[in-house]
Amino acid sequence: MPKKIRELIRDILCAGFVDCGGKGSHRNFAHARGVRITLSGKLSQDAKRYQERDVEKAIREVAE
């Protein structure tokens, strides 16, 4: 079962990212270590596999 966009946002905020706003359904997040990620989609939509993979990768990068 794919995660929802809201779950990915929760995970990324818990990892220390800050919401930098966005336009339309796009949301930009940045971390103090210089890692940036953009997520698109409504909060209730299922996340695409590549979005889940990108979030996992960004979280791993800041954890190192």
Q: What confidence tens digit (pLDDT) does each residue in 1-15 have? A: 899 999 999 999 999
pLDDT digits (tens, 9 = 90+) for 40-52: 999 999 999 999 9
Helix residue spans in the chain (DSSP H): 5-14, 49-63
Separation of alpha carbons 13 and 19, rounded Å: 8
Q: How much is the pLDDT for 64?
A: 85
Query: What is the pLDDT at residue 52?
Result: 97
pLDDT of residue 35: 96
pLDDT at 55: 98
| pLDDT single digits (tens) 24-45 | 999 999 999 999 999 999 999 9
Identity at 1, one-letter amino acid code: M
